[in-house]
Amino acid sequence: MGFELPELEYAYDALEPNIDAETMELHHSKHHAGYTAKLNAAIEGTEMDAMGIEELMVEKFDNAAVRNNGGGYWNHSLFWSTMSPNGGGEPNGSLRSAIDDSFGSFESMKEEFSKAAMTRFGSGWAWLCVDNGGLSICSTPNQDNPLMTGAGIPILGIDVWEHAYYKSYGPGRANYIQAWWNVVDWGTVAENFESAL
Ligand code: MN3
**Residue 129 pLDDT level (bands cut at 50, 70, 90):** very high
What is the mean predicted confidence (pLDDT) over 37-41? 98
Cα of 97 vs centre of ligand 1, distance in Å, is: 30
What is the mean predicted confidence (pLDDT) over 54-78? 97
123 SS3 class: coil
Cα of 40 vs centre of ligand 1, distance in Å, is: 18
Domain annotation covers residue 88: yes
Cα of 68 vs centre of ligand 1, distance in Å, is: 12
Cα of 73 vs centre of ligand 1, distance in Å, is: 9
Cα of 165 vs centre of ligand 1, distance in Å, is: 9
Distance CA 109, CA 122 (A): 23
Domain annotation covers residue 97: yes
Cα of 24 vs centre of ligand 1, distance in Å, is: 10
Lowest-confidence pick of 4-8, 11-15, 129-133 = 129-133
Number of independent structural domains in the chain: 1
Q: What is the CATH number of the domain that holds 39?
A: 3.55.40.20
Strand partners, 142: none
Question: What is the SS3 string spanning 85-126?
Answer: CCCCCCCCHHHHHHHHHHHCCHHHHHHHHHHHHHHCCCCEEE
pLDDT at 28: 98
pLDDT at 113: 98
This model's pTM is above 0.85: yes
Cα of 93 vs centre of ligand 1, distance in Å, is: 30
Query: Over pLDDT 70: what percentage of the chain?
Result: 99
What is the mean predicted confidence (pLDDT) over 86-107? 98
Domain containing 105: what range? Answer: 19-197
Cα of 48 vs centre of ligand 1, distance in Å, is: 24
166-186: pLDDT as tens digits: 999 999 999 999 999 999 999
pLDDT at 1: 63
Domain annotation covers residue 8: no
Angle in degrees, CA 161, 23, 121, rounded to 5: 10
How do strand 134-141 and strand 124-131 relate by DSSP bridges? antiparallel
Cα of 158 vs centre of ligand 1, distance in Å, is: 9
Cα of 176 vs centre of ligand 1, distance in Å, is: 14
What is the mean predicted confidence (pLDDT) over 32-57? 97
pLDDT at 133: 85
